[in-house]
């Protein structure tokens, strides 16, 4: 038993504990204020956990899955041993059945830049920028078909209903520009997996992407005010609608969908002026439009999307994703999976390269010229790779066991190559990178800790990287 001389009296206890009680009260007040602010405006700008390297992300999603051994992962053994049995091949690696015989790359390969990076001949424009790129050659995931693999790459899981990376970033950081959406998706054809690839999942719908369809000219549906309504009438209508919704919400438990709906009306109102200006590429110089290939029928759609992406991040949009549309060569590939070279990898990839190469290269060049590349993370890649053995005689099947993604700008080293596939490019074998690692790195570059960015749903805390993920420090600048 302690001597009475050192036992705290009630007065001493209260005096010594006062500061602690005050700190607890202050923390509770700050938490309540933060919660109230988030409810009032879920897209309010929120500070990152530490100094970010990047402010925005542009993800160039090569829908349909480019072949790593025909784009960025040069394998001389394929050329030497064409037609021979592929060691360790599995005919069921992909979605169909493969021959088990090695298929060489039909393209000419050359080394480029100070880094001496090998690049396929289908990228004459992008090859000039290899010293800006950090190549990850050891990507791998579980799913071997387009929809679940695309969900896994973007949401960290191939189960429908999970939030995509762009939604997580919007939830974690809010919106830089309150007059534009923080998360924008552009597509020419709805890819396999559809909205699930860019869904907000179980996050409040406030963090859902704005999807723009190139077939509709990239216009935003239902944005313009009715011709029968004046600006003041519209404002009065929105004020009344907001008041009624808030009265409804106050008498009930918190309803995230209702809060999201209220905020979506207000954001749409503010976007009526800001969005048309942001997406008006006609105001760009002729030189800029020529740089992107806006006047080139082969790549005009992707060119307009890449140029729009630059304009959006320039105006504070947090996350822009472009799903590459159809290939240019009419080689029989299904429109919504343009890089899907099952029947003929050469004609398929030549046309897809022609449709995306110039605009993607122009995006890097334009961002750098405007001083934006250092704060904009550009990501290029598809949902998986392709087999090193043939499907049929000159096609390649799906391959989730090893593929390449590159990143540029936004805090990554240029001209570096991380990880490796085996000598045939068939499987990732060195410094293997899972999608959870890619996401952890993305969040880190944006100033967020992937283990602390969580959301409670159905009784457990979820995160983009779920139970895995580590930052790929080797590619950080």
Question: How many Å apart are CA 72 and CA 263, to the nearest integer?
Answer: 43
Please report which confidence band the pLDDT of residue 7 belongs to, taking 50, 70 and 90 as the band edges: low
Please report which confidence band the pLDDT of residue 107 belongs to, taking 50, 70 and 90 as the band edges: very high
pLDDT averaged over the chain? 87
The pTM of this model reads: 0.86
pLDDT digits (tens, 9 = 90+) for 110-139: 999 999 999 999 999 999 999 999 999 999
Give the per-residue pLDDT at 279: 87
Give the per-residue pLDDT at 325: 79
Of 88-97, 284-293, 359-368, 423-432, the poorest mean pLDDT is in: 88-97
The phi, psi pair for 403, rounded to 5°, reads -160, 170
Q: What is the mean pLDDT of residues 413-439?
A: 98
Does pLDDT of 259 surpass 80?
Answer: no
User: C-alpha distances in angstroms, 110 versus 18, 123, 125, 174?
Assistant: 71, 11, 13, 43
Please report which confidence band the pLDDT of residue 27 belongs to, taking 50, 70 and 90 as the band edges: very low
Please report which confidence band the pLDDT of residue 22 belongs to, taking 50, 70 and 90 as the band edges: low
Q: What is the mean pLDDT of residues 305-314?
A: 97
Q: What is the mean pLDDT of residues 241-270?
A: 64
The pair of structure tokens assigned to 78 is: 């394929």
Question: How many Å apart are CA 226 and CA 213, to the nearest integer?
Answer: 22
Q: What is the mean pLDDT of residues 171-181?
A: 94
Give the per-residue pLDDT at 317: 97
Does pLDDT of 442 surpass 80?
Answer: yes
Give the per-residue pLDDT at 332: 47
- Picking from 439, 405, 472, 407, the residue whose alpha carbon sits closest to that of residue 73 is 405
Does pLDDT of 447 surpass 70?
Answer: yes
Does pLDDT of 32 surpass 50?
Answer: no
pLDDT digits (tens, 9 = 90+) for 455-466: 999 999 999 999
Does pLDDT of 38 surpass 60?
Answer: no
Give the per-residue pLDDT at 270: 67
Give the per-residue pLDDT at 31: 46
Give the per-residue pLDDT at 276: 82
Give the per-residue pLDDT at 328: 55
Between 54 and 27, name the one with better pLDDT.
54
The phi, psi pair for 117, rounded to 5°, reads -70, 135
Please report which confidence band the pLDDT of residue 42 belongs to, taking 50, 70 and 90 as the band edges: confident
């Amino acid at each position: 038993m302690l001597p009475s001389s050192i036992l705290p009296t009630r007065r001493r206890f209260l005096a010594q504990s006062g500061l602690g009680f005050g700190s607890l009260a202050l923390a509770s007040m700050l938490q309540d204020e933060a919660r109230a602010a988030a409810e009032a405006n879920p897209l309010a700008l929120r500070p990152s956990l530490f100094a970010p390297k990047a402010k925005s992300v542009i993800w160039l999603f090569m829908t349909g899955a480019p072949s790593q051994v025909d784009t960025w992962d040069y394998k001389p053994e394929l050329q030497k041993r064409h037609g021979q049995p592929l060691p360790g091949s599995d005919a069921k690696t992909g979605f169909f059945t493969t021959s088990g015989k090695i298929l060489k790359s039909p393209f000419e390969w050359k080394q480029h830049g100070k880094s001496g990076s090998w690049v396929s001949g289908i990228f004459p424009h992008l090859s000039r920028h290899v010293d800006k790129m950090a190549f990850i050659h050891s990507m791998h995931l579980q799913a071997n078909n387009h929809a679940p693999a695309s969900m896994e790459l973007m949401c960290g899981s191939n189960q429908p209903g999970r939030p995509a990376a762009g939604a997580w970033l919007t939830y974690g950081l809010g919106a830089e520009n309150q007059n534009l959406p923080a998360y924008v998706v552009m597509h020419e054809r709805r890819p396999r997996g559809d909205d699930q690839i860019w869904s907000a999942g179980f996050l409040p719908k406030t963090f859902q992407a704005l999807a723009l369809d190139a077939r509709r000219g990239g216009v935003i549906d239902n944005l313009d005010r009715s011709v029968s309504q004046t600006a003041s009438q519209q404002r009065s209508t929105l004020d009344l609608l907001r008041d009624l919704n808030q009265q409804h919400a106050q008498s009930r438990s918190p309803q995230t969908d209702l809060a999201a709906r209220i905020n979506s009306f207000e954001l749409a109102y503010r976007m009526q002026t800001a969005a048309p200006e942001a997406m008006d590429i006609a105001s760009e110089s002729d030189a800029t439009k020529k740089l992107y290939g806006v006047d080139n029928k082969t790549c005009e759609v992707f060119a307009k999307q890449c140029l729009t992406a630059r304009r959006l991040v320039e105006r504070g949009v947090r996350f822009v994703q472009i799903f590459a549309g159809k290939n240019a060569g009419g080689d029989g590939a299904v429109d919504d999976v343009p890089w899907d070279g099952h029947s003929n990898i050469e004609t398929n990839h030549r046309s897809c390269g022609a449709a995306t190469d110039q605009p993607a290269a122009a995006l890097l060049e334009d961002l750098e010229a405007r001083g934006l590349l250092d704060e904009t993370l550009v990501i290029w890649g598809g949902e998986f790779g392709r087999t090193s053995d043939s499907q049929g005689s000159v096609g390649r099947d799906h391959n989730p066991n090893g593929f390449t993604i590159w990143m540029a700008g936004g805090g990554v080293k240029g001209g570096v190559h991380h990880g490796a596939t085996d000598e045939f490019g068939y499987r990732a074998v060195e410094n293997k990178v899972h999608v959870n690692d890619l996401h952890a790195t993305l969040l880190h570059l944006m100033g967020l800790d992937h283990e602390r960015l969580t959301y409670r749903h159905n009784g457990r805390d979820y995160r983009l990287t779920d139970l895995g993920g580590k930052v790929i420090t080797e590619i950080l600048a």
